[in-house]
Amino acid sequence: MAFSMFLRNPACTNLLRQQLAQIASQPTLTHRSVTSAVAIRSLAFNDTKTPILNSVRSFRTTRVRLSDEKPHDHSKLWVIERATSAALVPLIPLGLLMPNKIIDAVLAILITAHSFWGLEAIAVDYVRAAILGPVIPKIAIGLVYLLSIATLGGLFYLISHDVGLANSVRQLWAIKSEQKA
């Protein structure tokens, strides 16, 4: 990463262009190297063609989207994931102490998002196209989306048409304590 940032630096780019210009303008070139020097010169000085450094800029360790939109900043998603996890710590006891539809809805959204990101990471990390082919990873991601949508829908149904999320957890605890007595 640091090396690619160094290569993107304008000082490095100018130095590379100067070196390519010196190589291309040397008088003691054979015919074969003259044609390659002309090609190098055209790559270094023609701005309409792809510069040499674009090969370094386009190197990625993950799949690149084939669109013209700006690349995604995954550090922001990481911060959102951690904030979601941190928000669940006080919200779960708060939802159990003061059950209402608003806290239940926030809990349903955060729990579903948290589980979605975890399952998606598992599917991306362990269901790889290089090992299982191109179709099975797409099916796995589709199943993660389907499971997350069904989970959120089920939790919202429980909140709006039944006793709510926190009250159903309380009822489950009451059943277990009655069976032991």
Domain residue spans in the chain? 2-57, 74-180
Alpha-helix residue ranges (DSSP H) falling in 2-73: 2-8, 10-24, 31-45, 54-57
pTM for the whole structure: 0.58
Is the dihedral angle over the CA atoms 111, 113, 114, 116 positive or is it negative?
A: positive
Q: pLDDT of the chain along its 181 residues, tens only?
A: 444 555 566 665 666 566 656 666 666 544 455 455 555 555 555 545 455 555 545 544 445 454 455 666 778 889 999 999 999 999 999 999 999 999 999 999 999 999 999 999 999 999 999 999 999 999 999 999 999 999 999 999 999 999 999 999 999 988 866 666 5
Written out in words, the top-level CATH class of the domain with range 74-180 is: mainly alpha
**What are φ and ψ of residue 47, in 5° steps?**
-80, -10
How far apart (Å, rounded) are the C-alpha atoms in residues 98 and 126? 40
Cβ neighbour number for residue 65 with a 10 Å cutoff: 9
